[in-house]
Amino acid sequence: MSRVVIVVIDGFGIGAMPDADTQRPGDAAADTLGHLLDQHRATTGRRLSLPTLEALGLGLAHPHPDLPREPSLPVAAGRAALGYPGADTYAGHQTMMGADCGGVTVARLAEHLDAVAVALRANGHGTDRLDGRPLLVVDGRILVHDNLEADPGVNWNVSGCLADVSFADVLRIAQVVRSVAPVARVIAVGGHADAPLPAFVREGALGTVGLDTPASGFYRNGGLAVQHLGAPLDRGRRLPELVAASGVPVMLVGKAAEVLACDAAVRRPAVDTTDVFALTLDALRRAPGTALIVSNVQETDLAGHQQDAPRYAAVLRRTDTGLSTLLPLLSSPGDRLIVTGDHGNDPVIGHACHTREYVPVLIHRPEAVRPDRLPTARTLADVGATAAIALGLGATALGSGTPLLRPAAGSAGVPT
């Protein structure tokens, strides 16, 4: 009887992976958490206080002068390599749930522009190029373009201003694009912009061209609507589907409700961090003796894209408070609170893209008698495998991943 809550702090990196500079040489210096702590002290004269994350072992996962080294809770703490190419929310979540994303194709829209235009015209849509650049204006109002916030060629976006089109219109275009796209995600995005969208089109890295979504005002002006259309993956051995098939309730909260497909799951999408934790807490209170809840804190990632370190710090403090509300309800042997990330998004690195970083793995286990340091996990799939054995699925249930912990004494599952 275990309740497992996985909280993914989106864009919460703790230092560059060895290949972080493959796309951008400067990313070898990426350290989302370290730079955030340094920036906060430099601008305020105080350390950034994160008492719950500190108690959960953040300083053990990422040693820093402003973080206590020793956790005060019975945790296992360490870090994980991403285990997939690039630095992407969709691929990060799929990998974490046990899917193999190693073969995701990286491609600029320019390389497939004609095929996308043909598919759109075959579905009755008009297409034009904007000033001859390699992006499409569909029906005179909706942009199809490279995603400038991820590594070049990982994702494509379909963007529309909701003052001019409905989100349903944007989504219909995105579904056509998805049908011919080779990339990990096609993201339908609707929002309210400060000016007509072409005013915010710019060049990105490695020949990409797209909408500068943070500059457009979509993230500031309210009403943001997003749907992620992922590449086809084998869902038969992913954590949510396997847990649901065993008769255990599955709840997906925040952005996790958008990027994880599981027909049996209860979905509670939200963007505001306070709302995400309110929904997570409500799901936990309603959960029976065994349940899986996966929640995503998105506003950290949005602050990283905006290169807004003070906002990132404020969201991280709200996250810390939210985590403190979950711990009292996860006090039985076998219960797990797992806090991790999906990639980095360094708010002071000098660009608005994700950064390829290790992420923390903080596992609260109330039956333990002391904190432990975990070895570096080779992939985020190890996080999902750890959750799987806590829920009685066995160490090899998922498509990939190796459990980082043995199951609690007396619980189901296969020890590592």
Pairing of strands 225-230, 291-297: unpaired
Q: Which residues lie closer than 8 Å to 54 by C-beta, 6 or more apart? A: 67, 68, 71, 72
Rounded CA-CA distance 344/24 in Å is 14
Give all domains of the chain, ordered by start, each with its CATH number: 3-104+233-397 (3.40.720.10), 109-230 (3.30.70)
- The H-assigned helical ranges of 246-288 are 256-259, 273-286
Rg (CA), the chain: 21
* pLDDT score recorded for residue 376: 97
CA gap 356, 45 in Å, rounded: 29
Residues 61-109 pLDDT 10s: 999 999 999 999 999 999 999 998 888 898 899 999 998 876 677 789 9
Residue 172 has pLDDT above 50, yes or no: yes
Report the pLDDT value the prediction gives residue 408, as an integer from 0 to 100: 58
> How confident is the prediction for the chain on average, in pLDDT?
93
How sure is the predictor about 46, in pLDDT bands with cuts at 50, 70 and 90? very high
22-43 confidence digits (pLDDT tens): 878 899 999 999 999 999 999 9
Convert the pLDDT of each residue in 252-290 to its tens digit: 999 999 989 899 999 999 999 999 999 999 999 999 889
Q: Give tens-digit pLDDT for 352-363.
A: 889 999 999 999
Three-state secondary structure call for residue 384: helix
Band of the pLDDT at 2, cuts 50, 70, 90?
very high
> Residue 158 — φ and ψ, nearest 5°?
-125, 115
Predicted confidence band of residue 406 (pLDDT cuts 50, 70, 90): confident
The confidence score (pLDDT) of residue 233 equals 74
Distance (Å) of CA 402 to CA 91, 100, 376: 18, 13, 12
Q: What DSSP designation does 15 have?
A: S
Owner of token pair 């929002």: 191
Give the pLDDT band of residue 401 (cuts 50, 70, 90): very high
**Does residue 409 have a pLDDT over 70?**
no
pLDDT at 239 > cutoff 90: yes
Look at residue 103 in the predicted model and tell me its pLDDT: 65
Report helix, strand or coil for 18: coil
What gap in Å lies between CA 266 and CA 250, rounded to an integer? Answer: 6
- Residues 355/30, Cβ–Cβ less than 8 Å: yes
